[in-house]
Amino acid sequence: MSNLSGKFVIGLTGNIATGKSVVRRMLEHLGAYTIDADALTHRAYAKGAPGHQQVIDRFGKWLLNRDGEIDRRKLGNLVFSDPEAMRQLEEIVHPLVKQATELLIQRASQPVIVIEAIKLLEGDLRKTCDTVWVTNAPEATQVERLMRKRGFTREQAQERVRAQSAQSIKVNMANMVITNTGSYDDLWKQVNEAWKETVPGARDAPTDTAAIKRPAGSGALSTHRGKPKHAASIADLVTRLSKGKRKMTADEVMESFGDKAFMLLQSDGQVVGVAGWQVENLVTRTTDIFLEGNLDIAKALETLVGGVEAASGELQSEASLIFATDALAAQDALWQKLGYEKRAPESLGAQAWQEAAAEAAPANSVLFFKQLRQDRVLRPI
Give the model's pLDDT for residue 203. 82
Is residue 89 in a domain? yes
Q: Is residue 116's pLDDT more than 60?
A: yes
Q: Is the pTM of this model over 0.95?
A: no
212 pLDDT tier (thresholds 50, 70, 90): very low
Q: What is the CATH number of the domain that holds 130?
A: 3.40.50.300
Domain count, the chain: 2
Give the model's pLDDT for residue 213. 43
Q: What percent of the chain shows pLDDT beyond 90?
A: 77
Task: Please return the burial class of 374, using the count of CB atoms within 10 Å of its CB with bins 0-12, 13-18 and 19+.
Answer: exposed
209 pLDDT tier (thresholds 50, 70, 90): very low
d(CA 328, CA 277) in angstroms, rounded, equals 16
* Per-residue buried b or exposed e for 105-120, using 16+ beta carbons within 10 Å of the residue's own CB: beebebbbbbbbbbbb
Give the model's pLDDT for residue 381. 37
Is residue 214 in a domain? no
Is residue 381 in a domain? no
Give the model's pLDDT for residue 165. 84
Is residue 247 in a domain? yes
Dump pLDDT digits (tens) for 239-261: 999 988 899 999 999 989 989 99
Structural domain containing residue 72: 8-198
229 with 324, same domain: the answer is yes
53 with 152, same domain: the answer is yes
Is residue 204 in a domain? no
Opening angle at CA 159, ends 154 and 160, nearest 5: 100
190 with 291, same domain: the answer is no
Q: Is residue 210's pLDDT more than 90?
A: no
Give the model's pLDDT for residue 237. 93
Q: Is residue 357's pLDDT more than 50?
A: yes
d(CA 265, CA 290) in angstroms, rounded, equals 10
User: Can you tell me whether residue 36 is helix, strand or coil?
Assistant: strand
User: Can you tell me whether residue 176 is helix, strand or coil?
Assistant: strand
Q: Is residue 377's pLDDT more than 90?
A: no
307 with 167, same domain: the answer is no
360 with 282, same domain: the answer is yes
Within its chain, how far is the Cα of 346 from the centroid? 21
Give the model's pLDDT for residue 280. 94
Is residue 41 in a domain? yes
Q: Is residue 215's pLDDT more than 60?
A: no
Give the model's pLDDT for residue 4. 63
165 with 65, same domain: the answer is yes
Q: Does 379 or 371 have the greater pLDDT score?
A: 371
Out of 155-159, 238-242, 339-343, give the one with best mean pLDDT: 339-343
Dump pLDDT digits (tens) for 177-206: 999 987 888 999 999 999 999 999 888 776
User: Average pLDDT of the chain?
Assistant: 91
176 with 233, same domain: the answer is no
Is residue 1 in a domain? no
- Reference 282, options 6, 11, 46, 18; nearest CA is 46
Q: Is residue 120's pLDDT more than 50?
A: yes
Give the model's pLDDT for residue 19. 92
Domain-terminating residue out of 135, 166, 198 = 198
66 with 186, same domain: the answer is yes
* Per-residue buried b or exposed e for 83-93, using 16+ beta carbons within 10 Å of the residue's own CB: eeebeebbebb
172 with 258, same domain: the answer is no
Dump pLDDT digits (tens) for 283-300: 999 999 999 999 999 999
Mean pLDDT (whole number) for 9-20: 95
Give the model's pLDDT for residue 115. 97
Q: Is residue 211's pLDDT more than 60?
A: no
Identify any residues that bridge with 342 across adjacent strands, giving them in sequence order.
368
Question: Beta 261-267 vs 131-136: how paired, if at all?
Answer: unpaired
225 with 158, same domain: the answer is no
238 with 105, same domain: the answer is no
Mean pLDDT (whole number) for 258-267: 94
> How would you write 81-118 as a 3-class SS string?
CCHHHHHHHHHHHHHHHHHHHHHHHHHCCCCEEEEECC
Give the model's pLDDT for residue 182. 74
Q: What is the CATH number of the domain that holds 243?
A: 3.40.630.30
149 with 274, same domain: the answer is no
Is residue 376 in a domain? no
d(CA 324, CA 341) in angstroms, rounded, equals 12
Opening angle at CA 287, ends 334 and 332, nearest 5: 20
